[in-house]
Amino acid sequence: MATMHPAPIAYFEGNYVPVEQAKVSVMTHAFNYGTGLFEGIRGYYTKEEDNVLVFRLPEHVDRMMRNAKVLCMDIPEDAAAVENICVELIRKSGFKEGVYVRPIIYKSELSLGPTVKDVASSLCCYVIKLGDYCDITAGLDVAVSSWRRLSDNAIPTRLKSTGSYVNSSLAASEAKMSGFHEAIFLRENGTVAEGSAMNLFMVHQGKLITTPVNADILVGITRNTVLELARDVLHLEVVERDIARTELYVCDELFFSGTGAQVAPVRSVDRRVIGAGKPGPITLQLQELYFNVVQGKVPEYRHWCTKVY
Ligand code: PMP
């Protein structure tokens, strides 16, 4: 039941508890070795329906459950149970606003040794309120990072693993400490990968281009959403291919996609102005469509929205 004063609830060790009570030991394997696997899922409040709609919940849970195999993680909850926990947490917390749900499967044993095999895993989950994660109106000033993107063969970028976010944190912090809003990662081979916590799209001569799934990226659900909307609703030509660094400077439009970032226009890269230095027309069209879809206003994509209340 919704309450007047939302109080965040967490799912921890099989129970729903106030978030302050959801605590792990200093000896927890995941805390020591970065062996956690998580998701970030948004719920959007719609005034018209007085409800919260969770965006592409089954797809997020499916990604986490598939990727759990890489880290040899086994938990008692199945995908349907995890989906239910995510929705239940928003409901129990009483939120009627924009929310962000964070399920985490983590190596919960208090054991020593960097191994993933035969180390017990558990599920926990929490929910917070979340508005915009970064500016999505004026356009972001971004820099190509001096930090390289992890190689999928080193710490798999395909996984949203807790340990891999050291890489993202270094790049995002470098960018911010140098006066930029965000970073773009290059791969070890010098081609473009993605942002610190978002995928990257480029518009060049009417085509929408993004880096392929084997380019050391997290295969974003927003990326998939943007590709589908661009192709099927806006009838744009979409291309998944490597992007060279210098293409970033000469393209017509650039934007990030992500659950947090949503559709976030980029107005400059390394102080080179992109296009007219403001969000471009295709970016704005996609952004508007995206917000209509997540708010449940586009009937063809209503199945992407899960009602909380
Ligand atoms: N890349 C990275 C490194 C991320 O952390 C995220 C955020 N989850 C994304 C891309 C975008 O993924 P999604 O659209 O599934 O949120």
In a domain, 242, yes or no: yes
| Average pLDDT value for the chain | 96
Pocket test for ligand 1, best of 41, 160, 196, 211 (most atoms within 8 A of CB): 160
The verdict on residue 4 lying in a domain is no
- Same-domain pairing of 282 and 195: yes
Same domain, 178 and 236: yes
CATH code for the domain of 200: 3.20.10.10
State whether the beta carbon of 222 lies less than 6 angstroms from ligand 1.
yes
Average pLDDT score over residue span 138-152: 97
CB of 220 shorter than 6 A to ligand 1: yes
Q: Is residue 265 lining ligand 1, measured as CB closer than 6 Å?
A: no
Q: Report residue 5's pLDDT band, with 50, 70 and 90 as the boundaries.
A: low
From ligand 1's centre to the CA of 243, what distance in Å? 18
Residues 6+ apart with CB under 8 A from 100: 40, 41, 42, 43, 127, 128, 129, 130, 259, 260
In a domain, 299, yes or no: no
Q: Which pLDDT tens digit goes with each residue over 18-61? A: 999 999 999 999 999 999 999 999 999 999 999 999 999 999 99
Residues of the chain with pLDDT > 70, as a percent, come to 98
How far is Cα 264 from Cα 186, in angstroms, rounded to an integer? Answer: 19
Residue 289's domain comprises 140-294
> Which of 101, 129, 157 is the endpoint of a domain?
129
pLDDT at 4 over 70: no
Among residues 129, 158, 186, which one ends one of the domains? 129
Residue 7: per-residue pLDDT: 80
| CB of 39 sitting under 6 A from ligand 1 | no
With a 6 Å cutoff on the Cβ, whether 92 touches ligand 1 is no
pLDDT digits (tens, 9 = 90+) for 195-244: 999 999 999 999 999 999 999 999 999 999 999 999 999 999 999 999 99
Residue 153 and residue 104 in one domain: no
Please state the domain count of the chain: 2
Residue 2: pLDDT over 60: no
Task: Give the residue numbers marked as catalytic.
Answer: 160
How far is ligand 1, taken at its centre, from the CA of residue 1, in Å? 31
Domain termination site, one of 129, 149, 179: 129
In a domain, 169, yes or no: yes
Report d(CA 154, CA 164) in Å as an integer.
10
Residue 189 within a domain: yes
User: Residues near 265 by Cβ (< 8 Å), separated by ≥ 6?
Assistant: 136, 137, 138, 139, 140, 253, 254, 255, 278, 279, 280, 283, 284, 287
**What is the total residue count of the chain?**
309
